[in-house]
Amino acid sequence: MKAHIRNKVPKGKFATYHLTRALSLSEVKNIPCKTISCSPSSFGRISKKVKKYLADNRYVITIEKNKGKPLQTSPKKILEAIKLYRSGMSFRKIEKKLGIAKSTCHYLVRKAKKTKIKKGTVIITV
């Protein structure tokens, strides 16, 4: 799993940390693993000093495009909504059963391949 870093490094064990903004050298030193990913624009804004530190300390940096806002619905509810819809249940009935808005249910079914999920203040890519 991957954690997205926006303001501070989230606690927990993640295989990769995704930078959503350029970090300072002191912030980079707080990242507990050696695998980092970021968007092309975020990588371009990282300072030369931080890039040198990352290269010298053998961090693995991957540049990837992972657009879109993360889902705030739990993965368990997402899978349940998709399963119920595929079994023939209407969006209104799913809304009442799971407590998710009808439009959200429709969106989840349509975008079932979404990979970013928000869990509290941490964004996780699955």
Q: What is the pLDDT of residues 18-37, one digit of tens each?
A: 887 888 888 888 888 888 88
Q: Under 8 Å CB-to-CB from 20, ≥6 apart: which residues?
A: 4, 5, 6, 38, 39, 42
Q: Domain containing 14: what range?
A: 2-63
Question: Does the residue 69 lie in any domain?
Answer: no
Confidence (pTM): 0.55
Decide if 108 contacts 78 (C-beta within 8 A): yes
Decide if 19 contacts 38 (C-beta within 8 A): yes
Question: Are 37 and 82 contained in the same domain?
Answer: no
Q: Which residue has the tokens 């969106």?
A: 107
Q: What is the pLDDT of residues 95-126, one digit of tens each?
A: 999 998 898 888 888 877 666 666 677 766 64
Question: Are 79 and 103 contained in the same domain?
Answer: yes
CATH number of the domain bearing residue 101: 1.10.10
